[in-house]
Amino acid sequence: MIKKLANVITVVIMLAALAGCGSGGGDGTAGYTGKTAPTALTTSNATAMSLDVVDGLGSVTSLGGIAKAVSSTPQDSVSVKSLTDAIEDSIASVAQQPSLAKTVAQTTSGTQNGYSGSFSYDGTYDTTTGKIAATFTYNAYQATADSAILSGSVSVSGTILTLRGGGIERLSIVITSLQIAEPGGRYGSDAGVFTTVKGRMTIVNEGDKTITLSMVFTDGVTGKSYWYKDFSTVVSYSTTTMSGTFYHPDNGYVILTTLTPLANTTNSSGDPTSGVLLFTGRNGSKVRLTYTNSGIGYLLELDASGTGSFTAL
């Protein structure tokens, strides 16, 4: 679970850098068509509105209908990590082009083929400052046999530390509409059902790593959408905290906060060895998720009435 999330944290996202993006696909709201009222947390929806929310940060197939419609196998899971990895790799490959290394700043455009499909790019890149501003358009693009498959457009701007050891310092990303699927032994148009992603994020690497995103994921079969709104994850040397609002198409929304930071050390199942998360719904109803490093690795408790009295599920 958090092991998956820890992999996502190779990039850091700050929502503030995108505050001026306005409405449309880039504001992290477009595409969500489900319920928008807070959900009343009960025994029947407690897991979907807590465990599945955290798992969904690593694998979107954990979210209700997507899990059933896309695949039940890990190889086919659609992950935030796969999305960010693919975008980062594309940007890095453009920045490393030999022709760019000879010029301080220039307009750049072109097309690159992948293991399957291709992507094109058009924009500017300054090798002195590392600043880049470009649009990347993917055509069933797959970097390697194990990479996610992308189709659609992404706008990026930010700074790449190519002259100071490489890597991303800051990168703002606006996703107008992007389709993503895991390979699962397939490639290109043979990948099967795609999940549509719309939203925004910014990658920043300064001190503690922070992921903040507003993204809507839509199931290619059922058409149901799942919205991570203003989700933030902060990773220090030994712990992780997270917060945000999650919208489920059938249940409504729940607010996630961290009561006790999660340990970055994980058990054999990938769950943190300690830490407590709280999910709050309508009328003060709550679900408390405590990682125990024993038994199944966690304890799930419900306070359906909001009185502060929790019952183990």
Q: What is the 3-state secondary structure (H, E, C) of 218-262?
A: ECCCCCCEEEEEEEEEEECCCEEEEEEEEEECCCEEEEEEEEECE
Confidence band of 14 (pLDDT split at 50, 70, 90): very low
Which of residues 281 and 225 earns the better pLDDT score? Answer: 281
Domain presence at residue 291? no
Report which residue type is found at 260: T
Weakest mean pLDDT among 66-80, 154-168, 234-248: 66-80
> What phi, psi does 64 have (nearest 5°)?
45, -115
Domain of residue 158 covers 8-254
Summary mean pLDDT of the chain: 74
The winner for highest mean pLDDT among 2-6, 51-55, 98-102, 158-162 is 51-55
Weakest mean pLDDT among 16-20, 147-151, 189-193, 309-313: 16-20
Domain presence at residue 259? no
Could you give the CA distance from residue 130 to residue 166 in angstroms, rounded to a whole number?
10
Model's pTM, two decimal places? 0.77
Confidence band of 15 (pLDDT split at 50, 70, 90): very low
Weakest mean pLDDT among 124-138, 176-190, 289-303: 176-190
User: What pLDDT does 185 receive?
Assistant: 44
Domain presence at residue 311? no
User: Helix 51-58 crosses helix 80-95 at what angle (to 10 degrees)?
Assistant: 20
Could you give the CA distance from residue 221 to residue 3 in angstroms, rounded to a whole number?
28
User: What's the sign of the alpha-carbon dihedral 172, 183, 52, 43?
Assistant: positive
Mean pLDDT across the stretch 29-44?
Answer: 90
Domain presence at residue 242? yes
Confidence band of 194 (pLDDT split at 50, 70, 90): confident
Could you give the CA distance from residue 254 to residue 47 in angstroms, rounded to a whole number?
12
Q: Which residues pair with 134 in a beta bridge?
A: 123, 156
User: What pLDDT does 167 receive?
Assistant: 57
User: What's the sign of the alpha-carbon dihedral 223, 224, 227, 233?
Assistant: negative
Domain presence at residue 277? no
pLDDT at 222 over 60: yes
Confidence band of 71 (pLDDT split at 50, 70, 90): very low
Could you give the CA distance from residue 266 to residue 291 in angstroms, rounded to a whole number?
10
pLDDT tens for 44-57 read 999 989 988 887 77
Domain presence at residue 231? yes
How many separate domains does the chain show?
1
Could you give the CA distance from residue 157 to residue 219 in angstroms, rounded to a whole number?
28
Nearest alpha carbon to residue 6 among 226, 265, 180: 265
Nearest alpha carbon to residue 86 among 50, 123, 115, 126: 115
User: What pLDDT does 20 receive?
Assistant: 27
User: What pLDDT does 282 receive?
Assistant: 97
Which of residues 301 and 169 earns the better pLDDT score? Answer: 301
Percent above pLDDT 90 for the chain: 25
Mean pLDDT across the stretch 169-173?
Answer: 70
Residue 259 contacts residue 276 (beta carbons within 8 Å): yes
Could you give the CA distance from residue 154 to residue 121 in angstroms, rounded to a whole number?
10
Report which residue type is found at 111: T
Domain presence at residue 294? no
Q: Which residues pair with 132 in a beta bridge?
A: 125, 158
* Structure-derived torsion over alpha carbons of residues 270, 271, 273, 279, reported in degrees to the nearest 10: 160
